[in-house]
Amino acid sequence: AAPGGGRADLRSPQAVAEPAPTGGPLRFDAPMRAKDQLGLDGEAAASVHLERAGMRIVERRWRCAYGELDIVALDGDTLVFVEVKTRRGLAHGHPFEAITPAKVRRLRTLAGLWLQERPHRGPIRMDAVGIVAPRAGSWRVEHLRGIQ
């Protein structure tokens, strides 16, 4: 099965077969979609922005069965869970508009699961980084502290 549960088209030049690291069954990796690459690039830019602001990145792209945390960082002794949203432009709204109350609830749930694996004594905060990344021109990075 291909990523996402579908079947890989073996005739497609985009389906690349390679042995799994354990020597197990073949794995099919399709090329990354442009929006997924934009998201990864946005997370990298957000990490740089946060580090320049004095934060220390603890983890990126932590995943579990319930979802993914984009960035976990320390701001002094405060543990910060950061949701990153990246857009090419504002035609579909500002990146922060995609952070709905349901998304914040999910972020809190994921943070709780992360904390079960890595206990932290100290304050905890939820932040958001919104990035507008036009194909040509400078990227604009905004950081909201303490989203609720």
Angle (nearest 5°) at CA 66 between 56 and 17: 90
Task: For residues 83 and 95, give the distance between their C-alpha atoms in angstroms, rounded to a whole number.
Answer: 11
71-84: per-residue pLDDT in tens?
999 999 999 999 99
Are the CB atoms for 17 and 2 separated by under 8 Å? no
- Global pTM value: 0.76
List pLDDT tens digits, range 94-143.
999 999 999 999 999 999 999 999 989 999 999 999 999 998 989 999 99
18 dihedral zone (left: phi>0; alpha: psi -120 to 50; beta):
beta
